Amino acid sequence: MNKKNGWMVSGLWGFMIILIFLGSIVLHMHAKQNSDDHESRSKDSSLYNLDKMQTAAQKRAASSTSGEQAQSSASLNGEGVTMIGDSVTVGIEPYLKEQLPKMTVDGKVGRQMSQAVKVINELAAQGKLGDQVIIELGTNGPFSKNQLHDVLQSLSGAKQVILVTTRVPKGWQNTVNDTIAQVADEFSNVNVVDWYSASVGKDEYFYKDGVHLKPDGSRYYTSLLVAALQKS
């Protein structure tokens, strides 16, 4: 091989090396661009997913808060609730306080409806008369329409008054319940919990006297009152 041909071969090899070098640079740049594009898409995707996750979390939190508020508004702890009654009220007081720990319960053995206005005035003077009042009286004897009217008139400013019918194996039972039914309709803030009807066929809830309640009966009685209060 002569000197001229040698230079040509060397030049050719040099040219090829330069092409290979340039090609490797181009490939490297292309690969880097693809990598950057992929990373950018990944970041965008991550941000998008994060936004979705945050949005979902916010919705769950809002839903949870809404649920807590609904639960709070639907709940009842007895604050602002007063019950006035006789020995039946005395017997169920522990069960009432389990459900409505902040309520005021004023029960007295032998109490009559004729004494109710005095009790109402005393509780009001003590700041213990709530805006939801339950009256459970009639176990110990009948009362007139006028007597009941006076009681309800004294509670005309209450948000809700609940009258509870009686179940007592005495001759005045029906008289008491009829009087409650007739007078209650005269007052817009008065509702009736018909304990007499609700307790039909539930002899197992009562002690032998047919009036006072065993634990299961007390819980059932309490559940009726709580349900009535929640309807206000």
Catalytic (active-site) positions: 87, 209, 212
C-alpha separations of 23 from 4, 13, 54 in Å: 29, 15, 46
Tokens 């803030």 — which residue?
189
Tell me the CB-side half-sphere exposure of residue 218, using CA atoms within 13 A. Answer: 18
Provide φ and ψ at 81, rounded to 5°.
Answer: -115, 130
Q: Evaluate whether 161 touches 187 at the Cβ level (below 8 Å).
A: yes
Residue 218 CB neighbour total at 10 angstroms = 20
DSSP structure class, residue 84: E
C-alpha separations of 54 from 50, 59, 63 in Å: 6, 8, 14
DSSP reduced 3-state for 133:
strand
Tokens 């009362």 — which residue?
143
Q: How far, in Å, CA of 185 to CA of 166, rounded? A: 18
Label residue 66 exposed, middle or buried (CB < 10 Å: 0-12, 13-18, 19+): exposed
Looking at residue 37, its amino acid is D
